[in-house]
Structure 1
């Protein structure tokens, strides 16, 4: 009888040991799954950021190419018009025409910045200075809130689609540590969300973190109603 009880106690102890071992393995498995999930999130974030960077790099290149093509067409049209006028009025002044034709693009390029000047007199500066520990923006945005700084940036290129990474770089520059860049991105994200809700700018559809100043049906989202 005593031997029977000893065997029973031994089996129960062995069973308890296996139960504890199984619980330990389950905790370990859960920890591994958590780590895998965290790594998957990091991979997705880096892939998304890479895709955004590639998209806007291509967008910027195509926009620049379109601008150059438009400028070349305007220049060719201008040259043809001047040539026709000189042929009618001064058929023997080819040298003068060549000089005017060469100088004309320079005049256009000098007058271009004047046409792009924007009025920001309606955008107020902050009455209370930013806290000393706040991440400073570039000098041209000194004294403005982040939301108003974004508005100034967008007015400079009202038809441009700005990704949050572009806005952070334009407001704070390129010389940021990773921690400073993350801090700036959080602040800019909050300002963009508030500005969208108040109707200062619009979200671009089918894109994440992309905003523009100009509303276009089918391209941008409407301002949400309260």
Structure 2
């Protein structure tokens, strides 16, 4: 039993490390800063925790602030906010939009995806449902390689910027570790391409936001 457990642990380690290396290799040429990232039509911002008050967590707020800077500086023409609205009492995309509108972002420059239940699904839906061909993805620094790799695998010509302003405390370390473990699932998704839980009809909201005159 000990030998079997040791073999299983070794295999798990090899798979995990191989996944991390693959993802980092696939994304290494596409990571930028806000100032250096090439312009694109849209920024794709995945959701994260929203408090019961409707306020985005610091991690999510940092992503949204970066997206706002991209829009204000003309690096993108619209924002696609994608997150979890799997139950009526929890709505990441609406909370994300409300935060940005309070910060002065025109509502008509924002498109929402309510079924971005994972990074893979957010990327796949952005391409299949919203017609995104090119995007700047915005997330935390430790999530950036995985997000870029998944979006490029989904058919999006993706570059990305990562927030590096969060304090390196216990919360950060837990998030960092969880993201490394998620690399294995990301590699599986890139190999298998499972269908997202929800697809539905194609939407024009991203194109409408790109073409909208700010109001």
* TM-based fold match above 0.5: no
- Using the size of structure 2 for normalisation, the TM-score is 0.27
**Larger % of helix: which?**
1
- Using the size of structure 1 for normalisation, the TM-score is 0.26
Q: Based on CA coordinates, which of the two structures has the bigger radius of gyration?
A: 1
